[in-house]
Structure 1
Amino acid sequence: MAVSEANNGRGELRILENLDELRTDLADYIAELSEAAVKERGAFAIALSGGSLIDLMGKLCEAPYNKTVDWAKWHIFWADERVVAKNHSDSNYKLAKDGLLSKVPIVPGHVHSINDSVSAEEAADDYMFVIRQLVKTRMVNVADISDCPKFDLILLGMGPDGHIASLFPNHSALDETDEWVTFIIDSPKPPPERITFTLLVINSASNVAMVVTGESKAEAVHLAVDNIGPDCPSLPARLVHPTEGKLVWFLDKQAASKLDGLQFSD
């Protein structure tokens, strides 16, 4: 069972019966966007986050996707990363490499990880330089309105506090309006030092997918999606509004359980 509907201008909702259905629907969605981007401009620029997201992308390693997706045209980025060694258990790069990248034929030079041997501030500056060079060659598209990188797809999870990437509630990084990539050294979740895409870049993407599962996220999903008036807490997830693109929420029934006015259909 799946529900697909618009909800108060907060994007398309896809609510799946269980995790297996969600994994399949997410794989179909990513494969379709990949095919369209490769056909249109010869490359697919995708940015990942950490958490359970890589596991939920796991179907892409299986048939038919492992054979039908044009992996050689993928360019992989990270919407946020912990400033730790690439082999560290907290590294989003390691999570993605172990769970996805090592299982499909992606070109190693197309995997754009951060410089993990410098400070968080230097790593953010370095990552922005890397992206800027790829925008110049159009491996990453450019947004018409913001002149920002326009990623074909940014995949985000969400924490129970409503944080996305490494943009946490009431953190000054949410107010960054000039830079594409910023850094934090005081993350409320360990490890403290991270780099993260800013809202400017997230909202410049062609497509943003918010992938959220589990009952512990249900209240945050409600606060991020539903139209609950001026007293709504300012969750980072609620600030995702792609300017020229499309927002899709992938939810299991537990994460969607507190949404207003749901209509399930078999």
Structure 2
Amino acid sequence: MTEDFASEKTRAAAWFRELRDQIVTAFETLETGHTNGPLSDTAPGRFEVTETRRTSDDGSDAGGGLMSVLRGGRVFEKVGVNVSTVYGTLGERAQMAMAARKGIPGMAEDPRFWASGISLVAHMQNPHAPAVHMNTRMFWTPHAWWFGGGSDLNPCIEYAEDTAHFHATQQAHLDPHGADFYPKLKAWADEYFYIPHRHRARGVGGIFMDDHNTGDWEADFALTRDIGRAFLPAYLPLVEGRKEHLWTEADKDIQLVHRGLYAEYNLVYDRGTRFGLETGHDANAVLMSLPPLAKWV
């Protein structure tokens, strides 16, 4: 049995909110600073912020969060940055799935849970600028606790130097926690962000972990924070370097087809999507990751 972890829960939820605020500010600054190149003569995008609430089956409060979405900007066609803290009891389907996948005994007898995290997906106006996904989270039950998350790059037109920078920045943030973390989490991302029915990865990878619990909460939380801290320095320079590129209709077509792969993965395989819907979280927030436009050939 785990302790109540009240202090740890508070600290984790506060960190995810702090990271959300940093990213929203950085992205709006990027919108304002795009003054040369495609769409620079349009109004800079701003996030529309909506409070989300979750209720339990008996109508009682079960947490919620903030859904922040920027649409139709100079740089971002659609980007969502969600943060939430939810709690309550897991339904029978979620209990069975968690007990089976994570090997947690006692879920049926005491199905309480608490979960907090940040989730981000960015779809770009410019096909030369890569889409990206990032999330970090903490999950607690009376029987176990763990951290998860990571970030992965999803360019429709790949630039080897962008891929190298993204991975090198993540490695630099993970190496202080142990030389084995980056190769392990990179391999995990390669396995997780794979689309079996297409026989291909959805992007160029990144880092990913789940069920992370070494027994040292402070060390695990520090690792999770550094996964989050790696995101902006890994990603912003790539957008800065590509947002002024001119693009063709053929480039845009490549982007829309690639977005179709992203949508397929998120709807069919993504664990976060399934968990959010199974536990009754706001469907719009859960499905925020879907692109505004996509196509299939």
State if a TM-score over 0.5 links the two structures.
Answer: no
TM-score (norm 2): 0.25
> Radius of gyration: which is bigger?
2
Q: TM-score, normalized by length of structure 1?
A: 0.27
- Which of 1 and 2 has higher RCO (CA within 8 Å, sep 6+)? 1
Greater fraction of residues in strand = 2
